[in-house]
Amino acid sequence: MQRALTLHQTTIGKKVIMALSGAILVGFTFGHFLGNLNLYRGSEALNGYAETLRALPALLWTARVVLLVAVGAHIAAAYSLWTRNRKARGSRYEHHKDLATDYAARTMYWSGPILLLYIIYHLLHLTILPAHPGDVYRNVVEGFQNPLISGVYIVGNLALGFHIFHGIYSAFQTLGINHPRFNAYRRDLAIAICAVITIGNLSFPIAVLAGLVTL
Amino acid sequence: MSERLLNLTLHVWRQNGPNDTGRFETYRAKDITTHMSFLEMLDVVNEELIEQGKTPIAFDHDCREGICGSCGFMINGVAHGPQRRTTACQVHMRQFEDGDELWVEPWRAHGFPIVKDLIVDRSAFDRIIQAGGYISIRTGSAPEANEISIPKHTADKAMDAAECIGCGACVAACPNASASLFTAAKISHLALLPQGQAERQDRARRMVAQMDAEGFGNCTNHGECEAVCPKGISLDWIARMNRELVRAAFKSDASVESSAAKGV
Amino acid sequence: MQLRANEPTGPIEHRWQKHKETGKLVAPANRRKYSIIVVGSGLAGGAAAASLGEMGYKVKCFCYQDSPRRAHSIAAQGGINAAKNYQNDGDSVFRLFYDTVKGGDFRSRESNVYRLAELSVNLIDQAVAQGVPFAREYGGLLANRSFGGAQVSRTFYARGQTGQQLLLGAYQALCRQIEEGTVQMFPRTEMLDLIVHDGRARGIVTRCMKTGRISAHIADMVVLCTGGYGNVYYLSTNAKGCNVTAAWRAHRHGAAFANPCYTQIHPTCIPPAGTYQSKLTLMSESLRNDGRVWVPRHKEDVTKRPEDIPEKNRYYYLEERYPAFGNLVPRDVASRNALYVTNEGLGVGPEVDGERRGVYLDFSDAINRLGEHTIRERYGNLFEMYERITGDDPYQKPMRIYPATHYTMGGLWVDYNLQTTIPGLFAGGECNFSDHGANRLGASALMQGLADGYFVLPFTVGNYLGDVRSLPALAEDHWNVRQAVRAVEERVKKLMNAPDPKHAPEHFHRKLGRIIWTKCGMSRNKEGLEEALEEIPKLRDQFWREVKITGTGEELNQTLERAGRVADFFELGELMCIDALHRNESCGGHFREEHQENGEALRDDENYSYVAAWEWTGNSAEPALHQEPLTFEYVKPTKRSYK
């Protein structure tokens, strides 16, 4: 087992940690999004869903711990790789032209921290310091009626979209999940998952702002 | 075939040695024909510099037919210049227009310290191969060649990976100066073949460790390496390398030894 | 000087075995006490250094490139011959031996060639075991093709990059030894002189190309695997760095240089496009299978576009002159005829130095007959390469081709053990003269380099060391060593401080190349060679007076590197012409216009069936000739005819 223990010391091992923790986080995000769809079913549905979760403290806290560890591992590995990559270039090019990379890939080191700040805000806003404890529906709708708060959510979710688009595609590479027959679909799958989550999440503040969801 | 004459402005990185700070210097290349190769254009500039008593631009080159991997620098921000799947020595001046301004810079990477001007030290690549990029076979102890049957498809794939010329463009183009494409190509070439199985896990672990020790960055899947690679080495090999490493990590020494003993 | 080939006697098929059985050995435990210098890291040098390191010797390996993986063996495209007879077409070791002796126009040593054919079989095994991805058939076994007009399919290949893959195999073996500490590698280090002590080769003087540091390396023996001297022509298919310096320095210390006039000119290369041309690119000979070679019949048509020249005004000179073989005549015949038609003013393409050197290789008939798809399948990558270099699309208009120097059969004289006339100095690969006679067959260069490196040298080196047992220690501050270092320093100083510096070394190299190419190239005659022998020394004097090198010797200085190599090419070029002038016959790559019969080369076996080994006398104009007579017990000399 000595070999498995040293995996995390390699850059590839760190990438594996990022891919696996990222997979957990994307999985959670997807579930979170599905649960949030209750918003469209009205106050009772959403609050009921929240109540159900709170009624299972063991599950809730296990999930929270797992997520916290995943976020921690994800950030620690990212930080370690980031400092390494900065050093790896040495001096900068005077002229440099990108040929293949895309916006999402280039901005991972920006979308990541933005996402972190957004998550902290989101937790403070709706989990830790809610205006109306126990009434999730009201907290969400009242919050989103404020264009400023909605703006934060929209920016945060756009960052999330870019981040998980490149993240999902990258995870396939990092975990070595490739096969000539399926390689072409890896990008499509990344786009699909990312589109569902992003469009779905963006729809909540927009629906509130548009007056489709009201108190 | 139609020939044009070009007058170009070159901004070339000049650096006396690893400790010099380096700077761009500007040269005019006059009456360059479009049939010249990029290196021949530099030859002409250099011969003029020598006759003027100045130090010519140092750049690595040897075969000048795109196979030795000696040459390579950035031309206008792209490793090996504007033509896809082409080394700098094979780029011809018909790729450029009269009056163009060209920026010529060395590969820049912590793992490739600059030796002089456009020449960098790529010995890190040699050390990565030394760490395990081989099959340990004693001269004279090889079995009859046709005793090893390898499906054509597998042999072709191994050849795809083996075509790497070790020029370093992948490192130069990667935003993280990662040597993943180079390392992955060799790990994959040998992992695909039955002859490479005995050392497969150990090879992946050692080569990746050496790649890291040389100070290269890691792969964040930008695909720049594949885009500039003169031999079109595929990004898929990096996925394969990652898989090889993970697999090696979860195989204990004992299972490696027993599989080697069984000849698996 | 005495030339002793040291060939074993007896039936040819047992000679190598017998030699190994009776030779001296060094016990495994004793090997680490011996140090060996290997110069060059191509197929021969890389394979030798790796194999010797593996056996336990202390090896130091030197190359001028930044990595041993870049040696010019890497550029070989076609393949490697081996008498495996996997195709069941009647091939055998004897047949490969026979073809090689005959292909070499009966100017090689039978015992060496037989050994080469014998070892070819093991090379494939070795390469496959190393992971060289040779082409395979659908059944999973190795594929072969017929190459260079051979009547059997015995050529193994890895796409168009056989040399690259074989070299990487040797390089990886070398890397393993570097990792194990048995081989110490010195890249970017150039050998500038040989150290001879007590009549034996004991070391080399090198210049570190990064720092300019000149230093001595002492060992028990020296192995040179430094490649050929094709760059004496300035334009060749060799890499820009290929040079004769190591071999030439050895020659000046007493190693005989054999058959320097045997050079091979390859007919299908891309012609020069201008005076700035720095090297030539070879395209596979297979193109002649489907392409038709022609030039305009009339001088006034040479500047016309080929499509504007009507069929009746096209001169398909190979088809007309050699109806039986047509466009598939052997390399030398195809090359010479291209020279003749362009000499008549019928050459096409851009004018370079007042001449149009190019002939058309036209695929339009083949495209009409077989369809563009088939041609693309057969030659797609070659057509692509042609277009990349010339900017012309060969599917639309004919290619332009012209011969270029490709390989040099001559080199340091070696005996059966690959030992030169200096004890303790061995030479392998293209830098020795041994196996190809006056002409090398396609796909044989890789075979020879690897056979020397993997199998011959590891045994003969041990045989030498086992024989001399212990050599007296030679200290780095011994007078002989210091003297050698000083001589190199002086030479560098002399190059750096020419009295009237005017031109870069290339200027002189181009001029030298032009003399040798026109007068000692594809076709030679007495008058031209005598002119060359007058012009070369004059140009050489001018070189030493006017060569201009900027910068200093104590840093990376590519101009200085080139200048030193050009200086040696001057002396070698002179020897080539002397050798060509003395050989009053035509054989293989050496075609003397005075010696032909209806345009066919006329060999003179009665007077010239020998190896011409030249000894340095201190005066480059008067080398001493030594002859090693050649006897043919197994392959009786016959005449070549392609009419």
Enumerate domains of chain B plus CATH numbers: 5-116 (3.10.20.30), 122-262 (1.10.1060.10)
Residue C541 lies in a domain: yes
* Model ipTM value: 0.96
Model confidence at B2, pLDDT cuts 50, 70, 90, reads: confident
C643 touches chain B (CB under 8 A): no
**What distance in Å separates the CA atoms of residue C458 and residue C543, rounded to the nearest whole number?**
41
From C373, C406, C439, the end of a domain falls on C406
Q: What is the pLDDT of residue B196?
A: 97
Total domains in chain A come to 1
Query: Of B50, B143, B155, which has the smallest distance from its Cβ to C129's Cβ?
Result: B143
Q: How many helices and strands (H and E) does chain B possess? A: 9, 7
Of all residues in chain C, what percent carry a pLDDT higher than 70? 99
Collect all residues with Cβ–Cβ distance below 8 Å to B152 and sequence separation of at least 6. C136, C137, C138, C140
C279 touches chain B (CB under 8 A): yes
| Greatest extent of chain C over all pairs of C-alpha atoms, in Å | 76
Residue C54 lies in a domain: yes
**What distance in Å separates the CA atoms of residue B216 and residue A84, rounded to the nearest whole number?**
8
Give contacts of A 10-49 with B, CB under 8 A.
Answer: 10-16
Distance from CA of B164 to the nearest CA of A (A): 19
Model confidence at C325, pLDDT cuts 50, 70, 90, reads: confident
Residue A182 lies in a domain: yes
Name which of C97-106, C470-479, C542-551, C634-643 the model is least confident about: C634-643
**What distance in Å separates the CA atoms of residue A208 and residue C128, rounded to the nearest whole number?**
68
Residues C395 and C384 in one domain: yes
Residues C213 and C170 in one domain: yes
Residue of C nearest to B197 (CA): C131
Residues C379 and C448 in one domain: no
Cβ–Cβ of B33/C273 closer than 8 Å? Answer: yes
Q: What CATH number should be reported for the domain holding residue C364?
A: 3.90.700.10
Residue C354 has pLDDT above 60, yes or no: yes
Whole-model pTM?
A: 0.96
Residues C377 and C446 in one domain: no
Q: What is the pLDDT of residue C643?
A: 65
Q: Give residue C353's domain range.
A: 268-406
Cβ–Cβ of C558/B90 closer than 8 Å? Answer: no
Distance from CA of B13 to the nearest CA of C (A): 16
Model confidence at B260, pLDDT cuts 50, 70, 90, reads: very low
Residue C98 lies in a domain: yes
Query: Of A85, A95, A173, which has the smallest distance from its Cβ to B176's Cβ?
Result: A85
Residues C174 and C254 in one domain: yes
Neighbour tally for A85: CB within 10 Å: 22
Distance from CA of B253 to the nearest CA of C (A): 21
Residue A23 lies in a domain: yes
Residues C521 and C555 in one domain: yes
Q: Give residue A32's domain range.
A: 7-85+106-209
Cβ–Cβ of B220/A10 closer than 8 Å? Answer: no
Total domains in chain C come to 3
Residue C1 lies in a domain: no
Q: What CATH number should be reported for the domain holding residue C547?
A: 1.20.58.100
Residue of B nearest to C391 (CA): B1
Residues C280 and C394 in one domain: yes
Residue C636 lies in a domain: no
pLDDT in tens, C167-225: 999 999 999 999 999 999 999 999 999 999 999 999 999 999 999 999 999 999 999 99
B-chain CB neighbours of C172 within 8 Å are 129, 133-135
Residue C16 lies in a domain: yes
Neighbour subunits, C (≥3 Cβ pairs < 8 A): B
Strand ranges across the sheet with B74-75: B23-33, B5-14, B101-105, B74-75, B78-79
Distance from CA of B173 to the nearest CA of A (A): 8
- Pick the residue of B112, B221, B226 with the most A CBs within 10 A to test the interface with A by mutation: B221
Q: Which two tokens stand for residue C546?
A: 């006017």
Residue A93 lies in a domain: no
Model confidence at C285, pLDDT cuts 50, 70, 90, reads: confident
Asked whether B176 and B109 are in contact (CB, 8 A), the reply is no
Amino acid present at B124: A
Mean pLDDT of chain C: 96
- Average the pLDDT over C352-373 and give the result: 95
Cβ–Cβ of A101/B250 closer than 8 Å? Answer: no
Give contacts of C 372-391 with B, CB under 8 A.
Answer: 388-391
Residue C169 lies in a domain: yes
Residue A187 lies in a domain: yes
Residue A1 has pLDDT above 70, yes or no: no
- Average the pLDDT over C75-89 and give the result: 95
Contact present, C and A (at least 3 Cβ pairs less than 8 Å): no
Cβ–Cβ of B208/A172 closer than 8 Å? Answer: no
DSSP C124-192: HHHHHHHT----B-TTSSBP-B--TT-SS--EE-STT-HHHHHHHHHHHHHHHHHHHTSEEEETTEEEE
End-to-end CA distance of chain C: 43
Q: Which of C200, C202, C314, C331 is catalytic?
A: C331
Give contacts of B 200-259 with C, CB under 8 A.
Answer: none
Query: Of B65, B142, B145, which has the smallest distance from its Cβ to C75's Cβ?
Result: B65
C-chain CB neighbours of B67 within 8 Å are 74-75, 161, 164
Collect all residues with Cβ–Cβ distance below 8 Å to B58 and sequence separation of at least 6. B115, B116, B117, B118, B119, C556, C558
The candidate with the shortest Cα–Cα distance to B237, out of C114, B229, C637, is: B229
Looking up tokens 């891919």 gives: A19
Cβ–Cβ of C139/B70 closer than 8 Å? Answer: no
Q: What CATH number should be reported for the domain holding residue C119?
A: 3.50.50.60
Residues C245 and C140 in one domain: yes
Residue A198 lies in a domain: yes
Residue of A nearest to B206 (CA): A10
Angle formed at CA C459 by CA C454 and CA C463, multiple of 5 degrees: 155
Q: What is the pLDDT of residue B255?
A: 46
Residues C106 and C238 in one domain: yes
Residues C123 and C195 in one domain: yes
B83 touches chain A (CB under 8 A): no
Give contacts of A 154-183 with B, CB under 8 A.
Answer: 166, 169-170, 172-178, 180, 183
Residue A97 lies in a domain: no
Distance from CA of B43 to the nearest CA of A (A): 23
pLDDT in tens, C122-146: 999 999 999 999 999 999 999 999 8
Cβ–Cβ of B149/C140 closer than 8 Å? Answer: yes
Known catalytic residue at C565: no
Residues C398 and C304 in one domain: yes
Residue C639 lies in a domain: no
Residues C273 and C242 in one domain: no
Residue A26 lies in a domain: yes
pLDDT in tens, B182-239: 999 999 999 999 999 999 999 999 999 999 999 999 999 999 999 999 999 999 999 9
Q: Is B140 exposed, middle or buried (0-12, 13-18, 19+ CB in 10 A)?
A: middle
Q: Which two tokens stand for residue C265?
A: 């000119």
- Average the pLDDT over B49-74 and give the result: 97
Distance from CA of C119 to the nearest CA of B (A): 10
- Specify the pairing of strand C600-601 against strand C596-597: antiparallel
- Pick the residue of A2, A6, A11, A17 with the most B CBs within 10 A to test the interface with B by mutation: A11
Residue A94 lies in a domain: no
